[in-house]
């Protein structure tokens, strides 16, 4: 007892000393170490073992201080497997002059994990498969969806097996289905037929399948398997995309799918399976791994850090700095919520989760291998900033700003379309409550390789929020949009100085930036209601946005303003490989941008008096679109029900150039295509504009500024910087790729200061690595790693790039033609659907096939059916309710996927009554005749 009393007294004296020091004006400091103890006083010499213990001590200390002072928790090097999330509540808050900071000590490597290590007795099961019991371990009875071996994510048993060379949907790790809907998916002969006698309990399995229109993917538990019908019957799931059409046949191919978590599919290295009934874990070891020496960890948490407050009592003034967060549970089978009338549904959670936070900051942190979202701001948050971070290899999206539905007036989703068309009675502008994020940001960050599991995901998603800034971010490796603004509520956002590339990699009909604005005004396109929700102007400026991949389905645009996007200013952007799309909406001002591409501008479904402005832009068409061999001939491709000429409020002082043909053409419907520059001018678009070469300075090396004597400058175009796109940490320029014979590489230090050291073998740079002095010349395949150091300490994150020497380097057609200054001729075979639409006349209606990405997009993503292109108002079809631009998809239950099918069906009708099945916009309607 005396010893214990003595220890307690000593502990109290240390704490009192700390508090006295704090009271005298210094910041309170505590230390945490993986080798510490929570019975220690938390000093540098005697650190705590957990961050939670340090948090509790700060909570106690600040409650006893008058006034309360700031505090820093220094976390020492090591890995910390969290048994429960680190939660900050209002009582853990700092104050404006006394911030609470949790930081890695002197740039040491500190890792927080949402996993628990497994120590068990492994036994050989068969072949390379080992198994162990989780009984009597900390993992007993716990559900887990991610397993890690020596720090690498392993593969839950699946079929087809994981394709390590190409994990995307076009790799060998997916099958293409025969058909499907919201209840089932059918397989093609030979895919799963032999599983009838192999699968003993397929109900443990989960099907991952793509949306038939390629807008994302869904996951379903397997309810049953009907081998006679070659069908997997779906149980719960399918909520991961809002517009629930299900898998099935789509444009170009049917839905890709794979199946995971069936024991009998445990047949390849890296795979694992957990038998939850028997508490047995099975693991097929990777080559060269010793099961008795391997570090095996299983994810148990979906959130690692939580900030939990409210608008009335927020958690505030807490900073997290320099931490590495890894290894959390997947969330795709957890609860999802529909986000307004964008296409998204989302799980409200992330490795770092904010609800009711103010003036908090995530700085210089790395988040990877998490099963769900990286950082999620839910409901009310103000002035929360994410800066200097690297977020990669995450299951869903990287950073999410998502407000509450209760903050939205007349809130609608695709599942409560009963409200669509209702009279809007609440005409008050702006939000109804404060339950949304405002004045928050993500900046100077690298957001890459997201959407490991979910494909309707982004680097940044913004929904029901105001004044969100996304600045100086490098974004790539994304299955869908790099940045998504899901709705128009309530604007004020800024997307600036970002470098966005390699997006829309597994989906279609989208762009690196994609927005929707299906808010109160959109039902009927009521112009006078636009500013009820699009309260503030959205600014997209000073970005480099590249789209170099062929479209999986329909069209891909660099900046895609889809249904309803209104009140946008778009300027000083460099769009490479694709262009801009403006769909139905109002008050879009597009100026001083550069578009260089084989993809025409997409003007879709503009309403009359849209107030759109397009001026002082440079638009250059060069080469052939990816996957096509013919040169692009049109500058603009208009689609859908466009307003009468002239489109928008003003098209003026623009420079146009078609390097392929030297001629200006624009295409709407064939009957009103613009076939010459003179015709374009006569329609009211030539005011101050020119059709000529813009004279770029050095496009071969990424400089798309124009020469001092460029005619573009005479039109009012102004050059903008080409060296400020993307993050400002250590950079390798270019960012890797193929080269022939020789290439030069520049290294750029972190903007915060210091000098760059590098390696040429892919290893991590140290203070002993070569110091960068001048551009590096490479003549062979090389992996460059670069890191900024200052006073011996690393600054920010290391950059890594692979440069591969090849005999013939791939370059997109538009780039090669632009550099050559002329059309170079075809180099690829046609792989996309091409050609004239088949047409027919029927009972006073002109009907055509759906052909081409622009038409598909203008029709709301419909890929199958027959479009009513013209309709006689005196016809029976019109009098019974059919309208121009309706899509006929069937008659009397027989599918009419195209004109050929419709002609066959109608030939059998004769004079019998029939029912037309049509889509009008997004609604399915039946018309009886």
Tell me which of 825 and 612 has the higher pLDDT. Answer: 612
Residue 889: pLDDT band with limits 50, 70, 90:
confident
Residue 852: its pLDDT value, please? Answer: 61
CB-side neighbour CA atoms (13 Å) of 597: 31
Listed ranges 441-450, 668-677, 838-847; the one with the highest mean pLDDT: 441-450
254 pairs with which residues across the strands?
Answer: 249
Residue 19, pLDDT above cutoff 60: no
Contact 417, 341 (CB under 8 A): no
Nearest to 75 by CA among 44, 117, 118: 44
**294-352 pLDDT per residue, tens:** 999 999 999 999 999 999 999 999 999 999 999 999 999 999 999 999 999 999 999 99
Interhelix angle 2-23/51-63, nearest 10 degrees = 60
Residue 15: pLDDT band with limits 50, 70, 90:
very low
In angstroms, what CA-CA distances link 541 with 293, 368, 613, 784?
52, 29, 16, 31
Within a 10 A sphere around the Cβ of 771, how many other Cβ atoms?
A: 11
Residue 829: pLDDT band with limits 50, 70, 90:
very low
Lowest mean pLDDT among 20-24, 741-745, 819-823: 20-24
Query: Average pLDDT of 554-581?
Result: 94
Strands 100-104 and 318-321: what pairing? parallel
Nearest to 861 by CA among 505, 507, 482: 507
Query: Average pLDDT of 276-281?
Result: 96
Contact 772, 744 (CB under 8 A): no
Residue 847: its pLDDT value, please? Answer: 82
Task: List the end-to-end C-alpha distance of the chain, in Å, as a whole number.
Answer: 95
Any idea what DSSP says for residue 344?
A: B
Residue 857, pLDDT above cutoff 80: no
Q: Is 563 helix (H, G, I), strand (E, B) or coil?
A: coil
Q: How far is CA 289 from the centre of its chain?
A: 34
CA-to-CA distance for 499 and 870, rounded, in angstroms? 43
Lowest mean pLDDT among 590-604, 744-758, 910-924: 910-924
Sorted by sequence, the CB contacts under 8 Å of residue 409 that are 6+ apart come out as 426, 428, 431, 432, 520, 532, 533
**445-469 pLDDT per residue, tens:** 999 999 999 999 999 999 999 999 9
CA-to-CA distance for 397 and 403, rounded, in angstroms? 16
Residue 2: its pLDDT value, please? Answer: 42
CA-to-CA distance for 926 and 882, rounded, in angstroms? 10
In angstroms, what CA-CA distances link 495 with 451, 483, 545?
21, 9, 11
Residue 742, pLDDT above cutoff 50: yes
CA-to-CA distance for 284 and 157, rounded, in angstroms? 9
To the nearest whole number, what is the mean pLDDT of the chain?
91
Residue 704: its pLDDT value, please? Answer: 98
Contact 47, 73 (CB under 8 A): no
Residue 813, pLDDT above cutoff 90: yes
CA-to-CA distance for 495 and 567, rounded, in angstroms? 14
Residue 827: its pLDDT value, please? Answer: 64
Phi-psi region of 695 (alpha: psi -120 to 50; beta: other; left: phi over 0): left
- Percent above pLDDT 90 for the chain: 78
Nearest to 666 by CA among 716, 601, 609, 620: 601
Residue 912: pLDDT band with limits 50, 70, 90:
confident
CA-to-CA distance for 514 and 633, rounded, in angstroms? 26
Q: How does DSSP assign 574-639, residue by residue?
A: EEESS-EEE-S-S-EEEES-EEEESS-EEEESPPTT---EEES-EEEE-S--TT--SPP--SEEEE
**478-504 pLDDT per residue, tens:** 999 999 999 999 999 999 999 999 999
Residue 844: its pLDDT value, please? Answer: 78
Residue 865, pLDDT above cutoff 90: no
Residue 913: its pLDDT value, please? Answer: 84
Residue 851: its pLDDT value, please? Answer: 65
Contact 387, 362 (CB under 8 A): yes
Residue 853, pLDDT above cutoff 70: no
Tell me which of 627 and 171 has the higher pLDDT. Answer: 171
CB-side neighbour CA atoms (13 Å) of 905: 23
Residue 3, pLDDT above cutoff 60: no
**118-154 pLDDT per residue, tens:** 999 999 999 999 999 999 999 999 999 999 999 999 9
Tell me which of 245 and 336 has the higher pLDDT. Answer: 336
CA-to-CA distance for 813 and 598, rounded, in angstroms? 8
Contact 447, 459 (CB under 8 A): yes
H helix or E strand, kind and range, residue 712: helix 711-714
Phi, psi of 849 (to 5 degrees): -70, 160
CA-to-CA distance for 563 and 551, rounded, in angstroms? 19
What is the pTM assigned to this prediction?
A: 0.90
Q: Is 146 helix (H, G, I), strand (E, B) or coil?
A: coil
CA-to-CA distance for 881 and 928, rounded, in angstroms? 9
**71-119 pLDDT per residue, tens:** 999 999 999 999 999 999 999 999 999 999 999 999 999 999 999 999 9
Residue 741: its pLDDT value, please? Answer: 93
Residue 437, pLDDT above cutoff 90: yes
Contact 202, 225 (CB under 8 A): yes
CA-to-CA distance for 797 and 390, rounded, in angstroms? 8
Tell me which of 16 and 901 has the higher pLDDT. Answer: 901
Q: Where are the alpha helices (DSSP H) in 773-891?
A: 813-820, 853-858, 876-879
Residue 906: its pLDDT value, please? Answer: 79
Q: Count the residues in the chain.
A: 929
Domains of the chain: 2-110 (no CATH), 574-725 (no CATH), 731-811 (2.60.40), 839-928 (2.30.42.10)
Residue 881: its pLDDT value, please? Answer: 86
Contact 428, 409 (CB under 8 A): yes
CB-side neighbour CA atoms (13 Å) of 4: 1
Residue 652, pLDDT above cutoff 60: yes
CA-to-CA distance for 680 and 688, rounded, in angstroms? 12
- Largest interatomic CA distance in the chain: 105
Residue 828, pLDDT above cutoff 80: no
Residue 279: pLDDT band with limits 50, 70, 90:
very high
Residue 830: pLDDT band with limits 50, 70, 90:
very low
Tell me which of 849 and 8 has the higher pLDDT. Answer: 849
């Amino acid at each position: 007892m005396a010893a214990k009393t003595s220890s307690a007294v000593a502990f109290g004296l240390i704490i009192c000393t700390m508090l006295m020091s704090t009271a005298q004006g210094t910041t309170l400091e505590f230390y945490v170490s993986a080798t510490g103890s929570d019975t220690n006083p938390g000093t540098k010499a005697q650190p705590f073992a957990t961050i939670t213990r340090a948090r509790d001590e700060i909570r106690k200390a600040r409650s006893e201080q008058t006034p309360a002072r700031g505090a820093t928790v220094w976390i020492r090097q090591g890995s910390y497997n969290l048994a429960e999330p680190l939660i900050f509540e209002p009582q853990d808050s700092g104050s404006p002059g006394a911030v609470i900071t949790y930081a890695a000590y002197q740039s040491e490597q500190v890792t927080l994990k949402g996993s628990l290590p497994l120590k068990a007795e492994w036994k050989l099961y068969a072949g390379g498969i080992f198994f162990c019991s989780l009984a009597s371990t900390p993992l007993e009875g716990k559900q887990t969806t991610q397993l890690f071996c020596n720090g690498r994510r392993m593969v839950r048993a699946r079929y087809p097996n994981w394709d390590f060379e190409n994990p995307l949907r076009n790799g060998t790790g997916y099958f293409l289905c025969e058909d499907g809907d919201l209840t089932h998916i059918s397989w093609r002969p030979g895919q799963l037929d032999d599983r009838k006698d192999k699968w003993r309990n397929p109900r443990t399995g989960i099907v991952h399948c793509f949306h038939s229109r390629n807008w994302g993917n869904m996951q379903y538990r397997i309810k049953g398997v009907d081998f006679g019908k070659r069908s997997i019957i779906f149980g719960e799931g399918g909520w991961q995309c809002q517009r629930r059409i299900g898998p099935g046949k789509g444009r170009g191919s049917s839905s890709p799918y794979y199946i995971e978590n069936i024991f009998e599919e445990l047949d390849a290295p890296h795979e694992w399976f957990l038998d939850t009934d028997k508490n047995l874990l099975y693991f097929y070891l990777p080559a060269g791994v010793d099961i008795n020496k391997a570090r095996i960890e299983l994810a148990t948490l979906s959130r690692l850090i939580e900030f939990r407050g409210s608008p009335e009592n927020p958690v505030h003034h807490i900073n997290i700095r320099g931490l590495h967060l890894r290894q959390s549970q997947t969330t795709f089978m957890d609860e999802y919520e529909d986000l307004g009338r964008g296409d998204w549904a989302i799980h409200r959670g992330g490795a770092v989760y904010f609800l009711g936070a103010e003036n908090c900051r995530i700085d210089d942190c790395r988040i990877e291998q998490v099963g769900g979202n990286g950082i999620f701001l839910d409901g009310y948050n103000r002035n929360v900033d994410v800066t200097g971070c690297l977020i990669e290899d995450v299951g869903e999206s990287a950073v999410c700003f998502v407000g509450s539905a209760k903050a939205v007036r007349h809130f609608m989703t695709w599942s409560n379309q009963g409200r669509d068309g209702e009279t809007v009675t609440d005409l008050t502008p702006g939000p109804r409550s404060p339950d949304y994020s405002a004045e928050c940001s993500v900046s100077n960050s690298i957001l890459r390789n997201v959407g490991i599991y979910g494909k309707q995901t982004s680097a940044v998603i913004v929904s029901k929020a105001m004044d969100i800034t996304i600045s100086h971010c490098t974004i790539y490796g994304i299955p869908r949009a790099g940045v998504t603004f899901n709705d128009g509520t309530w604007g004020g956002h800024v997307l600036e100085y970002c470098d966005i590339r390699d997006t829309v990699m597994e989906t279609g009909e989208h762009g690196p930036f994609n927005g929707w604005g299906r808010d109160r005004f959109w039902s009927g396109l009521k112009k006078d209601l636009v500013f009820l929700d699009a309260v503030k102007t959205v600014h997209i400026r000073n970005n480099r946005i590249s789209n170099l991949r062929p479209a999986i389905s329909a069209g891909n645009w660099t900046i895609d303003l889809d249904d309803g996007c209104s009140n946008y200013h778009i300027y000083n952007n460099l769009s490479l490989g694709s262009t801009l799309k403006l769909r139905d909406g109002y008050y879009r001002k597009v100026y001083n941008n550069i578009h260089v591409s084989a993809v025409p501008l997409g003007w879709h479904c503009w309403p009359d008096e849209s107030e759109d402005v397009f001026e002082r832009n440079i638009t250059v068409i060069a080469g052939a679109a990816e996957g096509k061999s013919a040169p692009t001939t049109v500058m603009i491709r208009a689609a859908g029900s466009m307003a009468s000429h002239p489109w928008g409020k003003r098209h003026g002082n623009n420079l146009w150039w078609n390097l392929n043909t030297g001629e200006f053409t624009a295409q709407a419907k064939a009957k009103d295509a613009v076939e010459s520059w003179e015709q374009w001018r006569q329609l009211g678009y030539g005011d101050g504009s020119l059709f000529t070469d813009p004279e770029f300075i050095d496009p071969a090396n990424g400089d798309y500024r124009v020469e001092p004597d460029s005619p573009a400058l005479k039109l009012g175009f102004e050059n903008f910087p080409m060296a400020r796109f993307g993050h400002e940490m250590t950079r390798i320029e270019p960012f890797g790729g193929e080269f022939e014979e020789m290439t030069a590489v520049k290294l750029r230090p972190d903007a915060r200061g210091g000098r760059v050291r590098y390696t040429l073998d892919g290893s991590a740079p140290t203070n002993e690595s070569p110091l960068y002095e001048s551009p590096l010349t490479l003549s062979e395949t090389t992996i460059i790693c670069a890191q900024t150091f200052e006073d011996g300490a690393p600054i920010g994150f290391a950059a890594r790039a692979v440069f591969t020497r090849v005999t013939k380097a791939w370059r997109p057609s538009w780039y090669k033609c632009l550099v050559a200054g002329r059309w170079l001729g075809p180099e690829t075979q046609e792989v996309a659907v091409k050609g004239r639409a088949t047409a027919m006349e029927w009972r006073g209606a002109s009907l055509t096939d759906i052909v081409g990405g622009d038409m598909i997009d203008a029709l709301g993503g419909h890929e199958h059916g027959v479009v009513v292109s013209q309709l006689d108002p005196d016809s029976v079809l019109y009098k019974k309710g059919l309208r121009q631009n309706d899509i006929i998809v069937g008659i009397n239950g027989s599918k009419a996927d195209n004109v050929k099918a419709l002609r066959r069906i109608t030939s059998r009708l004769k004079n019998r009554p029939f029912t037309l099945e049509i889509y009008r916009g997004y609604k399915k309607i039946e018309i009886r005749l």
